[in-house]
Every structure is written in structure tokens, then in C-alpha cells.
Structure 1
Amino acid sequence: MQLSPTTEKFVLHWGEMGTRWGVNRTVAQIHALLFLAEKPLTADEICETLNVARSNVSTSLKELQNWSLVKVVHQLGDRRDHFQAHQDVWDVFKTVVEERKKREIDPTLTVLRECMLESKDDAVLDLHTRDKMQNVLDFVESMSDGYEELKSLPPATLLRLLHFGAKVQGWFGRRDEADGKN
């Protein structure tokens, strides 16, 4: 499979962005390739297109499947696995956010809650530190609760909400500037 210069640029940039988000470059490049592909691709086609070792592609595909971003599809008369990425941008976004929440936010909430429970019996812990930990817990719980409320909204509603949020920011930004605040 030959990539156009624009497609190659997109795939390479997606890989770069992946590294900034804590994702392996090859994993992100494979995701970009599968997202843009007109049809599901085999691991060998991915290897050839991206010039990546088969073992790296296999490991990367497993990672993408663990993130629920790629699925295996079968084609009649072909015993090989073909791989396909979610094609809807909103599905990709929601899947990434949900997976990151499960892997990062949920464990953090668990530890913060444990810390607050343990803080009651910690004679050495000062009140200032306990209050700061409680503030962090309250903030993360609020963000998590807000996410739970938003995740079920349809994409069109989320877009309207985002546009409305920009308008609200504009209103408050102008008011803050008029008050001499930034």
C-alpha cells in the first residue's frame, strides 16, 4: 500500500502526537493508518506500508485492541486477521477518554479516597496537608462526575455545548477585561 504525501504526513504526525500523549509512536501510527484506510488491513500490509517489524506491529495491534480502538474483522476466503479502526471521530475520542479515565483517573480516585480515610488515624498529618488532599479529591470527583454526565450526550449536543462554552468564555473574558482582570 502506497501512502500519498498528505496521508504519510498525517500518519507521521499522529505518531508524534502519540508520543506526547504517552503512547508508543508505532501504536499511534498504526492507529492513524487504520483510521484512514478504506478497508481493513492485515498485519503484513501494515508492516509493508509503515516499514515496521512484524513483531512491533503485532504488539501494537494488541495494544490498540486493548484500548478498544481497533477490532479484528474476517473476510470470506481469507484466513488472515484484518484490522479496522473505529471510523467515527467521536467514537475514537470517547473511547480514548473512557480508557484514560479507567487507567488514570479511577485508580487516582481510589488512592485519594484511601488517603482521606487513613488521614483520620494519621496523628502526624497536619490539617493543612489533609485539607489540600481533600481539595484534590473533591476536584477529581467533580471532574469524574461531570464526565459521567457528559459521556452519554449525543455528539451534536456535545458540539453545541462546546460552542456555547466558547461563548460563555467570551462573555466572561470581556467582562473580566472591563473589570481590569485577566
Structure 2
Amino acid sequence: MLRWGDMGGQWGVNRSVAQIHALLFLSDRPLTAEDIADKLGMARSNVSNSLRELLAWKLAWRVPVLGDRRDHYEAETDLWQMATKVAQGRKEREIDPMVAAIRAAMAHADDPRISPAVRQRLHSMHDFMNTVEGWYQQMLNVPPAQIMTLIRMGSKVVGLLKFVSGKGGKKEIE
């Protein structure tokens, strides 16, 4: 759990949020906020705020426990669902505003006060972001097993691209 928290911190996620997520992920039963605070030695307010964030990311949710009126929490345990939810959340918070800003800038790209070099860079950014956004949308429809196969292929994919392009990968493949 400490390492998960450290990793979360490296990725821009609050350490407490990541540690609570790890605890819920590894727990074989739903936990209350009090359970979490006790097990991790955290302040109850910190746990509450962190749980709110995990709920917002849809990485954890409340579950009823018969005979107990307190809120209990459990985490998403499907690793692909976790990765998809994190990617979606990051896209919404980081990529989408960038795409909107670039599109807004492109509306003024023909302004004669903008130098040709800056105009070209705006067009390049626009094309890049549209390509990344399109790729992301395509990846949502690829079954996890196929993505794992692609990941396991690793550098073999690069070799295949070089072979297909016939120029050591320098020609753009469509």
C-alpha cells in the first residue's frame, strides 16, 4: 500500500487517495471509513476527502452491509476497468481542455499577425491532438485481451512497422 501510494504520488495522485485505493483493492471485504483510518493511521477527515475523490474517479463505491448502517466501500478490482477509468478521467481533466484551447487558437490561425512558423506549430499541435484523441477513442473499443497481446509484442510491432513502411519506419503508415 505504501508503494501504491508512492506510485500515485509520482503520477500526480494524492498519496492518501492511492493508499486507500490500494487497501480497498486488496481487501476481501468492504471497509468503513473508520476501518480505513485505523488500518492506515490516517485522520478520518483525510479518509473522507480521499474516498470522495475515489468515488468521483469511479474507482470505489459505497456498498450496503446487512445489519450495519455505516457506509462501506470497495474498490474496482478489474485492472482493465481501473486503467480505463483512470485514462478517461485524465483525458477529461487534462487532454480535453488542451484540445479545446488548440481548437480555439485554430479559429484565429489565419490572423496575419501570427507568423507562419507559429501558424505551422498550431497546425501541428492540432493534428497531433486530433490523432491522439482519435486513437484513444479507437482503443476504447479494443478488447483487453487484444491490447495485452499488442503490449506483449512490444518491439516486434516497431519491427513490423519498419517492414511495412520499407524505409526503416521513416515513411508514415496509413
| Global fold match (TM > 0.5) | yes
Offset at residue 165 of structure 1 (A): 4.4
SS of the residue corresponding to residue 123 of structure 1 reads: coil
Which structure dedicates a bigger proportion of its chain to helix?
1
Aligned counterpart, 1:124: 113
More deviation, 162-171/76-85 = 162-171
2:122 matches 1:133: yes
Q: 1:172 to 1:119 in 2, by over 3 A?
A: closer
Distance 1:17 1:170 in 2: 31
- Report how many residues are paired: 165
RMSD after superposition: 1.9
Offset at residue 76 of structure 1 (A): 1.0
Aligned counterpart, 1:157: 146
Distance 2:72 2:150 in 1: 37
- The one-letter amino acid of 1:150's match is M
With the length of structure 1 as denominator, give the TM-score of the two structures.
0.85
Aligned counterpart, 2:11: 21
2:55 matches 1:70: no
Distance 1:123 1:102 in 2: 33
Structure 2: runs of 5 or more not aligned: 163-167, 169-174
Offset at residue 119 of structure 1 (A): 2.3
Structure 1: runs of 5 or more not aligned: 1-10, 174-178
Distance 1:172 1:64 in 2: 39
Aligned counterpart, 1:30: 20
With the length of structure 2 as denominator, give the TM-score of the two structures.
0.88
Distance 1:105 1:76 in 2: 42
Q: Do the aligned partners of 2:109 and 2:122 also contact (CA within 8 Å) in 1?
A: no
